[in-house]
Structure 1
C-alpha cells in the first residue's frame, strides 16, 4: 500500500486493491511503465516529494519518475483500477465513500495532465489486482470477491 514503482524489461508491476486505487502509466514507445497504489484522494497540504499515499501526489510522482514531459503525454496510456467499497456500511460515512473519492481523483488528475485512460475498472464491491507486464507491454486487471 502507498507504493510507487517504475519498471522496464522483464519487470512485472502489481498492486492488490480494495478501496485504494491503482494508477498505471504505460509509455510503450520507450518501454517504461509506472504503477502507484494510492490510499487516499488528496493530501491536506501540498507536497513536492515523491510518493503514492495520495492520488494528488502519485500522478505528478509517476510523471517525474518516468521523465514524462508535457510534449510526451500523447504517447502515454493510463489504466486505473480499484476504488471498491469493501466494507458494508450501515450508514453513509460523513466523509463519503473513500473508494469513489479515490477513483474520481485519479480520473480528474489524469485528465488534467492530458493523459488518455485506455482502461478503467473501478467501484463495485470486489477487490482487484492490477498487473503491468513490462516485457509484454500489457496490463491485466483481475477481480476477487470480498470475504463475507
Structure 2
C-alpha cells in the first residue's frame, strides 16, 4: 500500500492538481456580493437588504478563514483533515477499496476504506465536485447503500 501521511511542505509538485475543495464557498459569496451591489445601485426598495447582504458576504469573503479539505490529481487524492495541522494524507487511487459520500442534515462526509481496511473520513461541502471526480478515478468502488421497502409487521 502506497498511501501515507506526509507534512504539507513535502507535497510533490508533480502531478498537477486537478481540483481543490475548500471550506469557503468563494464562488457563491462573489455572486452574493455582486447581487447585493446590483440591489444597492438599481433598486430603492431592496437597497437596505442589499447593504446588509453586501456587508455579510464581504465579511465572509474577506475576513473569515479558508482552508483546503481535498486536492485531486491523476494519481492520488490529498486529505488535509489530519490531527496535526501541518500533515496531510495521500491516498492513491489503487489503494481505495470502497468510497461513500454520506449526507447528514448538518454536514456531508466522504468515507474512504483502504485496502488494509482502515477508514479515512473528511467533511465535505461540495458533492457536485467530489462525486464526479471519485467516479472518474475510483471507478466501480462506490459503496451504495440499498434502501429497501419497510415491511409492516402482521
TM-score (norm 1): 0.28
TM-score (norm 2): 0.27
Tell me which protein shows more strand as a share of its residues.
1
Greater Rg by CA: 2
- The higher-RCO structure (CA 8 Å, 6+ apart) is 1
Tell me which protein shows more helix as a share of its residues.
2
